[in-house]
Structure 1
Amino acid sequence: MIFVPYHLDERLYGLEADLLAPPGDEVTADLPEGDIWARLAVLYDRVADRVAARVAAGDRPVVVSGDCTVSLGTVAGLQRAGVNPSVVWFDAHGDVQSPETTTSGYIGGMPLRLLVGHRPDLIADRLGLRPVPEERAVLVDARDLDPAEVEYLAGARLMRYDIEALEIPEGPLLVHVDLDVVDPREVPGVLFPVNGGPTGPAVVAAVDRLIATGRVVAMDVACTWRPDGGNAQRRGLITALTKGL
């Protein structure tokens, strides 16, 4: 497992203790002052190098972090290793906002949109990240969408599924799981909880189905969390999600 103990460009202390034990391969960086995209590019370039090295060694890396944008580094790393993945994105949110549509300015609401090619000047070009074709990306659950995200998805080739109806895209697979996809009664303490949603066992079963294809090349696990409880539940869920890799 590769640990990236950040929420965007904020270093998080205690991620390993809160989410996983024992700690694994940790990625940190001295980030430059100024532009957030430049700061993230430095960090994610290191993530990409680490992922590429693990894939070259024959591993299927699991990248654990404090937010979903780290997936940009994961995909860049897979591409550096010669793998062009499709993306299966489990999340309570759409993560398909853009700088032009966001009302909050929160970058953590944009990574899937950036992965499929929006505004490569922001960070993709800095990482050498090529866009994932929309038809090779699927969004699972996403029960909390902003109007701009609904509008985008209505015209996009990126498909959205309920967890029971998931259709698996072609090619090698990056599985991305934001732990807030699970009903917050089962996984307390996430920063952006959304009521409802699938159970933990349902998400694990869906991920197991993907792993059983033999096409999963890497996994992202993201959790924006409050350090005030729920650690055992989060650790248990991560262990269950990754047991097949």
Structure 2
Amino acid sequence: MADYNTDGAWDPIVTPWHLDEYLPAFPIPAAATEVVRPDLPDGPVPARMSLLHRATADTVARATRPLVLSGDCPTARAVVAGLQRRHRDLNVLWLDAHGDFNTPDISTSGYVGGMALAMLTGRTPGLFGDTLDLRPIPDTSVVLADARDLDPAERGSLATSQVHRVPADPAAITAALGLLGPAPVYLHLDIDVIDGAQLPGARFPSGPGPSLARIEECLAAAHATADIAAAYFACAWLPEHAGDQHSRRTVTRLTAALGAGLAWPEPVGG
């Protein structure tokens, strides 16, 4: 079993997958506590993802303070399910260029990655065979920052929800977190929230947006304001860019804003 910390520091956990696709070049910090690489048999994508998510939930449940690096957003359901084994209630801070609030009924693409926040709030029952015993997070416990790139039906769904919408601004995030209850926070960041010009090789670039420096400020503000039980970074670069120097530098800066000092093995590629 992995040797998890007991002093309040971060436990880096890596899930090098995009949906059910393994990403061999995904960056793994030198001090990673665990890398989640279950053997996924051939079969339907949801079944394969369910096995991956179960393994991730088990890993997170053993960690004191998980810092998860992943290649997608849907694995967030596994992280939250793992956290819920020891936290009755959770708040969510979700920073993303997209809303991730689509459901199978309203999605124009059917892309599961665009449903990740909807999964956490209980809007996608039956999407996976394994529920992970995930308890839906109330809308009123969710802060969604930025979300500048929304599908029309998704925009309508968010408008009728009780999710707190804020810009990617440190003061706005601090104020929104102050409106939530005392439960610890699950912090989720998709790297595409950063201005697309600063993200070469991003899988889903979303054009002009907050700078990397501004997102660092947002994370630092959340870190100073909230009891963050776990942090999740969706490192959604194209496979050939996932482990390059620019990508690793970006992840290093973002995680440092939460007080995590990541070091990397010898660089691979550009």
Shared topology, TM-score over 0.5?
Answer: yes
Taking structure 1 as reference, are residues 130 and 124 closer, same or farther at Cα in structure 2, changes over 3 Å only?
A: farther
Equivalence for 2:247: 234
1:33 deviates by 3.4
Mapped partners of 2:125, 2:241: distance in 1: 38
Q: Give the counterpart of 1:34 among 37, 40, 43.
A: 43
Aligned residues of 2:185 and 2:226 also touching (Cα < 8 A): no
TM-score, structure 1 length as denominator? 0.91
1:184 equivalent to 2:199? Answer: no
Provide the aligned C-alpha RMSD in A.
Answer: 1.7
1:186 deviates by 1.4
Equivalence for 1:156: 161
Aligned residues of 1:78 and 1:84 also touching (Cα < 8 A): no
Mapped partners of 1:132, 1:40: distance in 2: 21
1:135 equivalent to 2:140? Answer: yes
Amino acid at match of 1:204: E
Taking structure 1 as reference, are residues 209 and 127 closer, same or farther at Cα in structure 2, changes over 3 Å only?
A: same
Q: Give the counterpart of 2:109 among 104, 107, 132.
A: 104
1:229 deviates by 4.8
Mapped partners of 1:48, 1:124: distance in 2: 15
1:6 equivalent to 2:34? Answer: no
Taking structure 1 as reference, are residues 85 and 8 closer, same or farther at Cα in structure 2, changes over 3 Å only?
A: same
The structure where helix makes up a greater share of residues is 1
> What SS does the aligned partner of 1:51 have?
helix
Aligned residues of 2:186 and 2:228 also touching (Cα < 8 A): yes
Percent identical residues: 41
Mapped partners of 1:184, 1:119: distance in 2: 29
Aligned residues of 1:183 and 1:199 also touching (Cα < 8 A): yes
Taking structure 1 as reference, are residues 49 and 213 closer, same or farther at Cα in structure 2, changes over 3 Å only?
A: same
Equivalence for 2:63: 54
Aligned residues of 1:208 and 1:241 also touching (Cα < 8 A): no
Mapped partners of 2:241, 2:13: distance in 1: 23
Mapped partners of 1:142, 1:82: distance in 2: 27
TM-score, structure 2 length as denominator? 0.83
Query: For 1:152-178, what per-residue CA distance to the aligned partner results, in whole angstroms no more than 9, with x for missing partners?
Result: 011000121101222113321111010
Q: Report the count of equivalent residues.
A: 238
Taking structure 1 as reference, are residues 214 and 146 closer, same or farther at Cα in structure 2, changes over 3 Å only?
A: closer
> What SS does the aligned partner of 2:96 have?
strand
Aligned residues of 2:57 and 2:81 also touching (Cα < 8 A): yes
Amino acid at match of 1:91: D
Taking structure 1 as reference, are residues 229 and 35 closer, same or farther at Cα in structure 2, changes over 3 Å only?
A: closer
Aligned residues of 1:92 and 1:194 also touching (Cα < 8 A): yes
Q: Give the counterpart of 1:172 among 180, 184, 187.
A: 184
Equivalence for 1:123: 128
Taking structure 1 as reference, are residues 8 and 145 closer, same or farther at Cα in structure 2, changes over 3 Å only?
A: same
- After TM superposition, the structure 1 = structure 2 runs for residues 40-79 of structure 1, keeping only pairs within 5 Å, are 40-55=49-64, 60-79=65-84
